[in-house]
Structure 1
Amino acid sequence: MIDLIHVTKRFGATTAVDDISLSVAQGELCVLVGTSGCGKSTTLRMINRLIEHSDGEIHIDGQQIRAFREETLRRRMGYAIQSTGLFPHWTVARNIGLVPRLLKWPQARIRERVEELMTLLGLPVSEFADKYPRQLSGGQAQRVGVARALAADPDILLMDEPFGALDPITRETLQEELRALQGRLHKTIVFVTHDMDEALRLADRLVVMDQGRIKQQGHPLELLREPADAFVESLLGGEDRGLKEAALLPVSERMLPLSPRLLARERVAHDASLREALSIMLWRHAERLTVVDDEDLPIGELSLRRLVGAKAHE
């Protein structure tokens, strides 16, 4: 869906992005991560031509982006940013319907689409349609921003630090909602963040950038297990990489069938992460947990030895 081929961006004598190549498949959630000034936001903005690239080529669905008029290109892509960019004097419903109005959709279709997205993003129409941005919490405003980015049903969604200004609880909730939303809509998403935990939680493809170059890219587990160099290893958490990997793996991957012995008193859900299971063990001073299904029925067990990957005969 998106191809960057030897793309460079220079601002005067400064090279912000230096000869990068990247392909993002249709339906993939690609996360660009790195320290401040590494070129990740510049890369994102070159995709919708908010910033023009200096060298190389950028293709969208096989076509060079400079073959499109800028306005046409941007209307094909949703764009969500940290500050939301909502018009303060417009209602929530009017903000969400911006791009469909520019595309001259019929009013009935716009209204239907706005209501559909508000429902999808947990913003009851009767409660939020006529509110103004100043009347929203940070999390609600970000939901409106995402709804507006999705309003014209674009194939591509670009997101630049969209959850960066939110408190940790709201941020984690919206991350979970974005993954669930992606599971239903299968958009091609390029997401920029400086938060490694957020990057690991969201990414199908993780792209680590430094000083305008791509240092390594691949599935998050690949990078955690085999970082390309000391920089990537440090950015991924150094000695904490084991815990970060545990946060990506479900309990079901390591659990064993129920044994004849008594069930462990402490329980963990089958779809909880191994990191959550380890936390329960440490907090409850338990070396074994009973694994339960969605109905809270026992389906297996997880020992500490099994959790850390030991080949125990249990």
Structure 2
Amino acid sequence: MIELINIGRQFGDVWAVRDLNLTINKGEFCVLVGTSGCGKSTTLRMINRLIEHSAGEIHIDGQPIRGFREEVLRRRIGYVIQNIGLFPHWTVARNIGLVPRLLGWKPERIAARVDELMALLGMSTERFSGKYPRQLSGGQAQRIGVARALAADPDILLMDEPFGALDPLTRDGLQDELLSLHHRLNKTIVFVTHDMDEALRLADRLVVMHEGRVRQQGSPIELLREPADDFVESLLGGNSRGLKEAALTPVSQRMRPAAVTSDAPVIEATKSLREALSLMLWHRVDHLNVVDGVSKNTVMPADPAHILGGLKLADIVTARAPVGAPGGAQP
């Protein structure tokens, strides 16, 4: 658990963060969002003492972080940034093994951990371990940055706009991988982004900051439905909040138990209502068959063996799942 208690950070006469209170539970994916200069990156860096807090206390598992030596604290917390920070003259394997070497791990244990992490992130050890950062694509380099942050198996992972410089396709793929990693490894993740769609897709808890303070926090669905004020509503998309909520709601929550019609276009049950609406608009229909994901055919007719149910336009626009229902992308 991470606790920020009345935290403040002052730069000269300016308070970048003031009176900030936030509790991040073990295993939670917490995303900090807000306009530029709102204090979200400063808050992230105070957790691992890259920036010292000027007021208040920060606790990790009940212990004040100033009770840890700085280097020990930082080795316990994985840290990923936008420009990755890989050492250009080191191979991929050596970059990943940095923290374990500092911790005195034996070479064979480091090598095994490098192999494990590269496999976890879908990168062949034989193909990539001997490469240098300049030989990697942006997405590949960012995967190595994540692997390096996870190398010593930290409980906490801090990520400061890690996908901000990547193209949309690569970014979407890495978001999927990060969600999958989170579900498998149960790490506590604190993630900073300026991209609201990314924040809504990833967060268990969404924290909106403004002028150094927390303006509102809660699940993405809670904030979309009940923004605290005009600022939060605007940041979340204003009149497009309905579409953003649809992007978080899986088709499985709204489908009917039987197929609507045998010749309707199909959509997988794990896809979002926003994708279902787009498919309806594209095919000029008001109903879809919902399939189990085994069938790769997205047009008609669907294989009856794979049909789970049906979805009508009315199911999207009239029904509403309860606030506590799960949202976000599925691993």
**Fold conserved (TM > 0.5)?**
yes
> What secondary structure, in the 3-state scheme, does the structure 1 residue paired with 2:261 have?
coil
CA distance in 1, matches of 2:240, 2:175: 21
For residues 1-314 of structure 1, what are the structure 2 equivalents within 5 Å?
1-258=1-258, 262-296=261-295, 297-310=306-319
CA distance in 1, matches of 2:62, 2:200: 29
Structure 1 residue ranges without an equivalent (≥5)? none
CA distance in 2, matches of 1:123, 1:21: 39
CA distance in 1, matches of 2:32, 2:91: 32
CA distance in 2, matches of 1:201, 1:217: 15
1:310 Cα deviation from its structure 2 partner: 4.9
CA distance in 2, matches of 1:257, 1:100: 52
> What secondary structure, in the 3-state scheme, does the structure 1 residue paired with 2:72 have?
helix
> What secondary structure, in the 3-state scheme, does the structure 2 residue paired with 1:163 have?
coil
Q: C-alpha deviations, 1:281-303, integer Å up to 9, x for none?
A: 00110100000013330110000
Q: C-alpha deviations, 1:224-268, integer Å up to 9, x for none?
A: 000000000000000000000000000010001115x63242001
> What secondary structure, in the 3-state scheme, does the structure 1 residue paired with 2:293 have?
coil
Q: C-alpha deviations, 1:204-233, integer Å up to 9, x for none?
A: 000000110100000000000000000000
> Which residue identity does 2:267 align to in structure 1?
V
CA distance in 1, matches of 2:40, 2:262: 49
> Which residue identity does 1:168 align to in structure 2?
P
> What secondary structure, in the 3-state scheme, does the structure 1 residue paired with 2:37 have?
coil
> Which residue identity does 1:246 align to in structure 2?
A
CA distance in 2, matches of 1:83, 1:193: 14
CA distance in 1, matches of 2:76, 2:56: 22
> Which residue identity does 2:150 align to in structure 1?
L
Q: Give me the TM-score of the superposition, normalised by structure 1.
A: 0.97
- Bigger mean CA offset, 3-12 vs 301-310: 301-310
CA distance in 2, matches of 1:264, 1:216: 46
1:308 Cα deviation from its structure 2 partner: 1.0
Q: C-alpha deviations, 1:38-82, integer Å up to 9, x for none?
A: 000000000000000000000001100000000000000000000
Q: C-alpha deviations, 1:174-231, integer Å up to 9, x for none?
A: 0010000101000000000000000000000000001101000000000000000000
CA distance in 2, matches of 1:310, 1:43: 38
CA distance in 1, matches of 2:264, 2:222: 35
Q: Check conservation: 1:248, 1:273, Cα contact below 8 A.
A: yes
Q: Check conservation: 1:264, 1:288, Cα contact below 8 A.
A: no
